């Protein structure tokens, strides 16, 4: 912490008690926004909504969105949250913030004034500026349109339920949800969603889709087929976005079903950046609530008691249990993110010899600019690879463990020492690479002229196989959408290791038949 400039400002507390009122909220928000402006945080306009804990649980249940179509899985989520909350095994988050413009933040009515201030700094200025600034959010989501799109989706699905029956729609949604992680384009940049056009274009899209399908599945024999026609795979290039592929090419789906698949796909794409920037996003917001609250105190706007309350809660948030603690549940993204953000500031302000060697570009630079740059241009994976300093690794006592099923023992690959820094950093970065964590599965081929079967390929990473039961379930879901046999092959080094097929067949049967 920087030196307290206690005497520089006269004390003029905004409030003293712990109760909040709407007037006070506005007053605090104004002060915090002034500070945020000084720190050059660029945000969407804010919309702060005060809600009760029941409403917070409702919000939890619909992935935090203010409106969402109906589905039993959200009900399940709600029941689970409700239960845990009643039992006291789980506290509710202090806030939820939505990547929209205006950015909507929910504050819980139970919070004290100090907590509300902390949350405003964290959500309304921290997360908000991240949503607006980070390149992933900028290029993959359209904050101004999401709420309208959700409304469109909700209404569309409701109409479908009325027209085709809740059960049918539910089954389709089940399948779509199962494939949600495979409904995103990882590399291709999509056109941002635009709901007004969305509705207008929908009819046109239906017709176009059908025409395209007719071409693909055309069964009228061609009078003259060139003899040298090579048997080509379809799609010619593998498709990573399975939902997209099904939406466009599944032979038997009705247009409304394609539209629903599209809705789920679009939502998945909307959430994709959040999954990729968890450490950065939380780190950034935590860094700013920490900085702003301290600044408020230094300027005499909040009392010492309030500062202590905020700091206590802050400490809880960034608590990282050790790997051997019973509370350990992986690396806490708040801790890692916050420490890294603060470390970047330190490197800029007081670089050591080590820092100068590791970060020649940023050591001694303007910290606000450097942080801003980092926030805008990285995602977790690249952020860690670029900015994780030896000091952080030492502070957190990081170490890497390799679990190779073929070996008897686990191996410590690297620890926080001179030889280990580089490797440790790469390992941690890879841990945040979604491509490594989620099995890499792509659409490989469709037997267009034969049994219309769909073949997916799983490209194994580090020889890691798929989990048996869920995979079987997944194939059933894909099969129900595709309508014809679905195959899945796990490939390692161009060799098929394992096969699944729906309707059921074992690996042996499939391979036996092939040979």
Partner 1 sequence: MTHIIDRRLNGKNKSTVNRQRFLDRYKKHIKEAVNQTIKQRSIQDMEQGTEISLPSRDVSEPTFHHGPGGVNTRVHPGNKEFHQGDQIARPPSGGSGGGSGDGQASNQGEGMDDFVFQISQEEFLDYMFEDLELPNLVRKQLKDATNFEYHRAGFTSSGTPDKLNVVRSLRNAHARRIALGGKKRKRVKEILDQLVDLEEEQSESQQDNTNEVIRAALIQELEELRHRLGKLPFIDDFDLRYHNLIKVPLPSTRAVMFCVMDVSGSMTQAIKDIAKRFFILLFLFLKRNYKQIDVVFIRHHTTAQEVDEETFFYSRETGGTIVSSALELTAEVIEQKYNPSDWNIYVAQASDGDNWDDDSIKCAKLLMEKIMPQVQYFAYVEIGSRFHQNLWEEYKQVAVAYPDLFAMQDLTDAADIYPVFRELFERKEA
Contacts to partner 1 from residues 441-460, by CB under 8 A: 441, 458, 460
Residue 161 interacts with partner 1 (CB under 8 A)?
Answer: no
Three-state SS annotation for 57-100: HHHHHCCCCCCCCCCHHHHHHHHHHHHHHHHCCCCCCCEEEECC
Comparison of 275 and 376: residue with beta carbon closer to partner 1: 275
The least distance separating partner 1 from the CB of residue 326, rounded to whole angstroms, comes to 6
Whole-number Å distance between alpha carbons of 316 and 313:
5
Report the nearest approach of partner 1 to the CB of residue 469 (Å).
8
Which candidate, 132, 159, 115, 101, places its Cα nearest to that of 36? 132
Cis ω for the linkage preceding 201 (within 30 of 0): no
Q: In whole angstroms, what separates CA 227 from the centre of its chain? A: 49
Nearer to partner 1, 252 or 401 (CB): 401
- When binding is defined by CB under 8 A, the residue of 427, 446, 455, 486 that contacts partner 1 is 427
Q: Which stretch binds partner 1 (CB under 8 A): 187-195, 256-264, 396-404, 505-513?
A: 396-404
Q: Which of residues 254-313 bind partner 1 (CB under 8 A)?
A: none
Q: Is the dihedral of CA 9, 15, 17, 20 positive or negative?
A: negative
Q: Which tokens is 196 given?
A: 């007004």
Q: Does 405 bind partner 1 (CB under 8 A)?
A: yes
> 126 Cβ partners below 8 Å, 6+ apart?
41, 284, 285, 286, 287, 288, 289
Name which position in 75, 91, 165, 512 contacts partner 1 (CB under 8 A): 75
The correct pick among 38, 162, 404, 509 for binding partner 1 (CB under 8 A) is 404
Candidates 411, 504, 509, 512: give the one binding partner 1 (CB under 8 A).
411
Q: Select 214 or 316, whichever has its Cβ closest to partner 1.
A: 316
Other CB atoms within 10 A of residue 58 CB: 17
Options 416, 457, 479, 487; binder of partner 1; rule CB under 8 A? 416
CA 353-359-363 angle, to 5 degrees, is 70
CB of 146 to partner 1, least distance (A): 17
Q: Which of 294, 307, 296 is nearest to 27 (CA)?
A: 296
Is 22 or 187 the residue whose CB approaches partner 1 more closely? 22
Residue 512 interacting with partner 1 (CB under 8 A) = no
Task: Give yes or no for residue 22 binding partner 1 (CB under 8 A).
Answer: yes
Nearer to partner 1, 63 or 308 (CB): 63
We find the least distance from the C-beta atom of residue 157 to partner 1, in angstroms, to be: 12
What single DSSP character describes residue 8?
G
Q: Is 25 in the site for partner 1 (CB under 8 A)?
A: yes
List the one residue from 144, 278, 386, 431 that touches partner 1 (CB under 8 A).
Answer: 431
CB of 132 to partner 1, least distance (A): 15
In the range 97-116, which residues lie near partner 1 by CB under 8 A?
Answer: 102, 106, 109
Site for partner 1 in 473-492 (CB under 8 A): 473-474, 477
Residue pointed to by tokens 């099995």 = 439
DSSP state of 505: B
- For residues 276 and 261, give the distance between their C-alpha atoms in angstroms, rounded to a whole number: 23
Q: In the bound complex, what is the minimum distance in angstroms from residue 174's beta carbon to partner 1?
A: 7
Beta carbon nearer to partner 1, 26 or 216? 26
CA dihedral (124, 129, 132, 134) in degrees, to 10, reads: -140
Indicate if the alpha-carbon torsion angle 163, 166, 172, 177 is positive or negative. positive
Q: Which listed residue (321, 360, 435, 512) binds partner 1 by CB under 8 A?
A: 321
- C-beta of 307 vs 434, nearer to partner 1: 434
Q: 121 to 150, contacts with partner 1 by CB under 8 A?
A: 124
Answer for which of 117, 279, 344, 396 binds partner 1 (CB under 8 A) is 396
Of the candidates 452, 439, 510, the residue with the CA atom closest to the CA atom of residue 482: 452
Contact between 471 and partner 1 by CB under 8 A: the answer reads: yes
Q: Which of 196, 410, 435, 504 binds partner 1 (CB under 8 A)?
A: 410
Candidates 50, 170, 37; CA nearest to 106 is 50
Q: What is the full DSSP assignment across 220-233? A: SPPS---TT-----
């Amino acid at each position: 912490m920087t030196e307290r400039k206690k005497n520089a400002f006269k004390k003029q507390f905004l409030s003293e008690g712990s109760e909040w009122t709407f007037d006070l909220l506005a007053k605090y928000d104004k002060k915090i926004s002034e500070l945020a402006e000084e720190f050059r945080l660029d945000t969407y306009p804010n919309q702060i909504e005060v809600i009760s804990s029941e409403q917070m649980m409702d919000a939890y249940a619909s992935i935090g969105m203010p409106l969402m179509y109906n589905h039993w899985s959200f009900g399940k989520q709600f029941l689970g949250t409700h239960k845990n909350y009643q039992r006291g095994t789980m506290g509710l988050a202090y806030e939820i913030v939505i990547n929209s413009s205006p950015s909507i933040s929910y504050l819980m009515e139970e919070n004290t004034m100090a907590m509300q201030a902390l949350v405003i700094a964290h959500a309304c200025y921290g997360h908000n500026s991240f949503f607006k600034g980070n390149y992933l959010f900028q290029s993959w989501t359209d904050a101004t349109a999401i709420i309208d799109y959700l409304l469109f989706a909700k209404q569309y699905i409701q109409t479908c339920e009325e027209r085709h029956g809740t059960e049918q729609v539910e089954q389709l949604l089940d399948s779509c949800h199962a494939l949600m992680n495979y409904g995103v384009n990882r590399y291709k940049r999509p056109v941002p969603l635009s709901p007004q056009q969305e509705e207008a274009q929908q009819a046109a899209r239906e017709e176009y889709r059908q025409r395209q399908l007719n071409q693909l599945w055309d069964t009228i024999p061609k009078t003259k087929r060139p003899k040298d026609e090579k048997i080509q795979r379809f799609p010619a290039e593998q498709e990573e976005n399975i939902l997209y592929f099904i939406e466009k090419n599944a032979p038997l789906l009705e247009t409304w079903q394609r539209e629903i698949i599209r809705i789920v796909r679009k939502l998945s794409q909307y959430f994709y950046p959040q999954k990729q920037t968890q450490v950065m996003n939380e780190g950034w917001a935590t860094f700013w609530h920490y900085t702003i609250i301290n600044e408020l105190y230094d300027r005499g706007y909040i009392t010492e008691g309030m500062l202590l309350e905020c700091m206590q809660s802050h400490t809880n948030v960034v608590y990282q249990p050790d790997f051997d603690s019973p509370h350990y549940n992986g690396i806490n993204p708040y801790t890692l993110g916050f420490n890294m953000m603060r470390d970047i500031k330190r490197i800029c302000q007081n670089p050591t010899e080590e820092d100068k060697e590791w970060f020649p570009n940023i050591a001694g630079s303007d910290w606000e600019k450097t942080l801003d740059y980092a926030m805008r241009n990285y995602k977790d994976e690249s952020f860690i690879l670029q900015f994780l300093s030896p000091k952080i690794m030492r502070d957190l006592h990081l170490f890497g463990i390799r679990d190779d099923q073929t070996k008897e023992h686990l191996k410590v690959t690297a620890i926080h020492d001179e030889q280990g820094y580089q490797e440790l950093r790469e390992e941690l970065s890879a841990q945040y690479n979604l491509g490594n964590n989620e099995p890499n599965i792509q659409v490989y081929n469709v037997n267009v002229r034969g049994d219309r079967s769909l073949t997916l390929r799983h490209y194994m990473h580090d020889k890691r196989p798929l989990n048996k039961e869920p995979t079987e379930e997944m194939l059933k879901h894909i099969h129900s959408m595709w309508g014809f046999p679905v195959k899945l092959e796990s490939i390692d080094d161009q060799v098929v290791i394992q096969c699944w097929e729906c309707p059921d067949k074992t690996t042996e049967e499939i391979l036996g038949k092939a040979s």
